[in-house]
Chain A
Amino acid sequence: MLGYTITQWLFGVLSFLAIMFALMVVFSRNPVNSVLYLVMTFFCIAGHYLLMNAQFLAIVHIVVYAGAIMVLFLFVIMLMNLNEDTEPQRTQITKIIAGVAGGLLLFVLVGSLKGTEQLQLQSYGASQIGLVKNLGKVLFSEFLFPFEIASILLLAALVGSIMIGKKDIK
Chain B
Amino acid sequence: MINGISINYYLLLSTVLFIIGAVGVMARRNSIIIFMCIELMLNAVNLLLVSFSTLHNDASGQVFVFFIMAVAAAEVAVGLAILSMIYRNVKSIDTDLLSNLKK
How would you classify the secondary structure of chain A's contact residues: helix, strand, loop or mixed?
A: helix
CB distance from B80 to the nearest CB of A (A): 5
Interface string of B76-103 (1 = CB under 8 A from A): 1110111111011000111010000000
Tell me if B22 and A105 are in contact (CB < 8 A).
yes
On whether A22 and B57 interact (CB within 8 A), knowing A35-B36, A73-B36, the answer reads no
CB distance from A33 to the nearest CB of B (A): 11
How would you classify the secondary structure of chain B's contact residues: helix, strand, loop or mixed?
A: helix
A56 contacts which of B5, B27, B62 (Cβ < 8 Å)?
B62
B93 contacts which of A54, A64, A80, A156 (Cβ < 8 Å)?
A80
Tell me if A164 and B20 are in contact (CB < 8 A).
no
Q: Does A87 contact B (CB under 8 A)?
A: yes
Tell me if B20 and A165 are in contact (CB < 8 A).
no
Residues of A within 8 A of B29 (CB): 88-90
- Tally of contact residues, B, Cβ under 8 A: 72
Residues of B within 8 A of A116 (CB): 7-8, 11
Residues of A within 8 A of B53 (CB): 54, 129
Tell me if B50 and A52 are in contact (CB < 8 A).
yes
Interface string of A133-147 (1 = CB under 8 A from B): 011001100110010
Tell me if B8 and A52 are in contact (CB < 8 A).
no
User: Of residues 1 to 35 in B, which have CB atoms within 8 Å of A's CB atoms?
Assistant: 1-9, 11-13, 15-17, 19-24, 26-30, 32-33, 35
Question: Which B residues are within 8 Å of any A CB, using their own CB?
Answer: 1-9, 11-13, 15-17, 19-24, 26-30, 32-33, 35-37, 39-40, 43, 46-47, 50-51, 53-55, 57-60, 62-63, 65-67, 69-78, 80-85, 87-88, 92-94, 96
